[in-house]
Structure 1
């Protein structure tokens, strides 16, 4: 493990380099902040570290002018910013894209975590209809297409310390759905029109494509928007594959007691103790402001406060105020500190701790194994699939980025995405490029711009458990 003094030295070197080169903070790479020490959290001058934490309530997120960390709608492959792998672009090799494995977090949503003291703003979801119906596979009467309409009964006594409005928590918002539609359109422009990989048309059981989600309505609803953007003229249903929720290899579906014991070990380190100490004052302030003093989940990590603040800002709402006292509100500077603390937390969980290999194995190892088997099938020419799209969660994207060895891991934002491109050369070799939110990922193995497919499989294989039952206990 790195010492505290090494971390401080790195931070000093970083800021001195900015000073002597005349580089402003706005010009730094927003995807790769200095996350190796808690001064990243406590230095208020860092603000959002070049990131974006805002989006309109009922519209798609505006397209960015450049690829920057945007928590509300992470960048993705786009025809205006996409470039071919360098060896292909400079014609040093002749190669064709033959397979795309695409993973993304769901699009933006309402919060999971409602403030214990109650919310001072209503959430309105009347502009999106979560459909809830089942239909026979063949024959039989078609269903009435019912949808969920959330309402609040003013006589419900539990609303006093909850939140009024017409949303479930969490649920996809109209802005999230529209972001998903645009996400699909952009993928079609790059991997369909430009590169000719994604089929222009398809049918219900097309063997060239494979779609998967977790069992969450968030990922299912996101899939509906993205896939409509990909195939705007398609009529009829499409299968969205899911594993049974109790044994799912994504979203922590399968049981594994070692997850908790490993996390306990991770959060018992001197580095974690320092993290808790440097954020104690702000945590105490927010706990008093929102009556979270007796809610352990709100105090043990920054997950809950960050989730609540992010969901507000990403859907056109204001930061929260104390219920009944609009003079006591969260400031933008406090929110940015919470978000930086969340970045540090994710980097420590999935990159910086001594137990990271085992933690990735018990959380995401089985899904990583599935991905590696797909790559082997492509390499051995045993696969009919050319395009596989997985709709998952930040808790799936983060450990996979950790397994790839990302140089610095910020909290993967809404629709954060990983594109595994597999290219076949004219000589018959297979090479891979890995894009994270639209750009080649920078890792401890170098930038994954053009590497032999076997090397990518080797990188991932470290995180595939030999015996998951023995590991999970």
Structure 2
């Protein structure tokens, strides 16, 4: 009875919210709001009612915890990075592991891992993490960089070889980037021998250590992983080659295998990991309140930082009318943090070497980047709906993987996904993480499924620690009833993602 009452109240609150917005918005925005979001709000009301009445799992959006990250006053008026690190894969002496380190985020390892009670049996593990540190994307480099960036200390290996049945073997070949002086076209961005992006040598080393640490927990400590790669283990990557560069080193760190290891990848047009499947409604939701939108609660910080943009543009040579560089701080953030993660100097103007980006300016960019990611993926009330649409397929896959193992339909007990910041951000948005950050290099989420006396339980680790959700049904996800999590996923995206196509349609 109380759940039925709650569902009616939820529907009433959502209806009142819509009515207020509809009548207070300016006419042009009102019409767009009506056209785009009336169906979405109605669907949300229905979903909330059904979920509360049937599964008793709350599918509502709940605001994240307040901190400096989502306090624009502290972000704009503060100094430094509030203890967040941006200049090395290694933590300074005396800094506790688990501290936010953009260059190499904390992950599961033996030193901090907390074992559950021995009465519970670990039956399934699924890992997803962002790739490790890299050169910046070409689109995030300045029109002309003042110094080169070389990658002669590594090789990016690309070749094909006959399999099933085996045939002729292939030479072990790798790309060697160069510029021919005869070519009259100047390269934009950095000169040198790197791809933009590619995982750097330091990023490859971080990937290897990540693999060693995971093996140290799930094999050496828990005895869960097999001694050698077999049908119980699988690795997956996106269509972006940098995830494969990481996976190769990570698997070496885990198994030191000299055998060929398949990396599972979905077709680029429907990949759920990146994600890259078509989801117009999800894209429309994000663009309605975030990057590129005219929403005042998004543009406010951009207007307040116009002087900072002007200073950075004067140094970088970026066109002042470039919307891509000025509708959020992503481009400057990637450019500056990639340098500092690799001990490279902050940039100076190509013609005036005395005009340089200061550490204070870089720190401000980093604070603003944290604010933007928190707003995009947690603080906006529309963020959950956008994440459920754009990352719903992957979440449904995770849920189905758990069900299949528990039902004895699947022998794979360890799945490992190497992904991107957009992947992890949407996943954390879906789970309504209590405190959102811009997920740094190597950021990791681990799903652990346990059994006890025929009952299944779930623990989720974020950065090696138990994930805390603002959603009351999930809360601290530490040995919660697995059915609660499955009900949450099913409620938002449907069993086997059967709601996602509809949710993605405009």
Change (3 A) 1:310 1:244: same
TM-score, normalised relative to structure 1: 0.86
Look up the match of 1:469. 501
Whether contact under 8 Å (1:403, 1:463) holds in the other structure is no
Aligned partner (choices 461, 464, 467) of residue 435 of structure 1:
461
Question: Which whole-Å CA distance do the structure 1 matches of 2:265 and 2:388 have between them?
Answer: 21
Are residues 1:49 and 2:82 paired?
Answer: yes
Whether contact under 8 Å (1:114, 1:163) holds in the other structure is no
Aligned partner (choices 440, 459, 468) of residue 488 of structure 2:
459
Question: Which whole-Å CA distance do the structure 2 matches of 1:250 and 1:145 have between them?
Answer: 28
Whether contact under 8 Å (1:401, 1:409) holds in the other structure is yes
Look up the match of 1:105. 130
Gap regions ≥5 residues in structure 2:
1-16, 18-64
- Of 462-471 and 119-128, more deviation after overlay is shown by 462-471
Question: Which whole-Å CA distance do the structure 1 matches of 2:405 and 2:365 have between them?
Answer: 42
Q: Deviations over 1:200-247 (max 9, x none)?
A: 112xxx221121110111100100011100002x22101110001111
Question: Which whole-Å CA distance do the structure 2 matches of 1:139 and 1:115 have between them?
Answer: 43
Question: Which whole-Å CA distance do the structure 2 matches of 1:461 and 1:334 have between them?
Answer: 44
Matches within 5 A, 1:128-277: 128-137=154-163, 138-159=165-186, 161-202=188-229, 206-232=230-256, 234-267=257-290, 268-277=294-303
Look up the match of 2:69. 35
Are residues 1:389 and 2:416 paired?
Answer: yes
TM-score, normalised relative to structure 2: 0.80
Look up the match of 1:325. 352
Change (3 A) 1:200 1:40: farther
3-state secondary structure, aligned to 1:450? strand
Look up the match of 1:15. none
Are residues 1:127 and 2:160 paired?
Answer: no
- Of 36-45 and 60-69, more deviation after overlay is shown by 60-69
Q: Deviations over 1:371-397 (max 9, x none)?
A: 111122233343311111001100000
Question: Which whole-Å CA distance do the structure 1 matches of 2:388 and 2:478 have between them?
Answer: 25
Question: Which whole-Å CA distance do the structure 2 matches of 1:472 and 1:229 have between them?
Answer: 42
3-state secondary structure, aligned to 1:442? coil
Question: Which whole-Å CA distance do the structure 1 matches of 2:170 and 2:188 have between them?
Answer: 38
RMSD, aligned α-carbons: 2.1
3-state secondary structure, aligned to 2:353? strand
Q: Deviations over 1:31-68 (max 9, x none)?
A: 984333312321323x1121111126xxx788964211
Matches within 5 A, 1:303-382: 303-382=330-409
Change (3 A) 1:41 1:62: closer
Q: Deviations over 1:94-115 (max 9, x none)?
A: 1121111100100110001343
3-state secondary structure, aligned to 1:329? coil
Whether contact under 8 Å (1:55, 1:316) holds in the other structure is yes
3-state secondary structure, aligned to 2:269? helix
Look up the match of 1:23. none
Gap regions ≥5 residues in structure 1:
2-30
Whether contact under 8 Å (2:143, 2:189) holds in the other structure is yes
Look up the match of 1:9. none
Q: Name the count of aligned residue pairs.
A: 429
Change (3 A) 1:339 1:109: same
Question: Which whole-Å CA distance do the structure 2 matches of 1:256 and 1:287 have between them?
Answer: 34
Deviation at 1:273, TM superposition (A): 2.2
Whether contact under 8 Å (1:53, 1:313) holds in the other structure is yes
- Of 451-460 and 214-223, more deviation after overlay is shown by 451-460
Higher radius of gyration, 1 or 2:
2
Are residues 1:288 and 2:317 paired?
Answer: no
3-state secondary structure, aligned to 2:253? helix
Look up the match of 1:11. none
Change (3 A) 1:458 1:467: closer
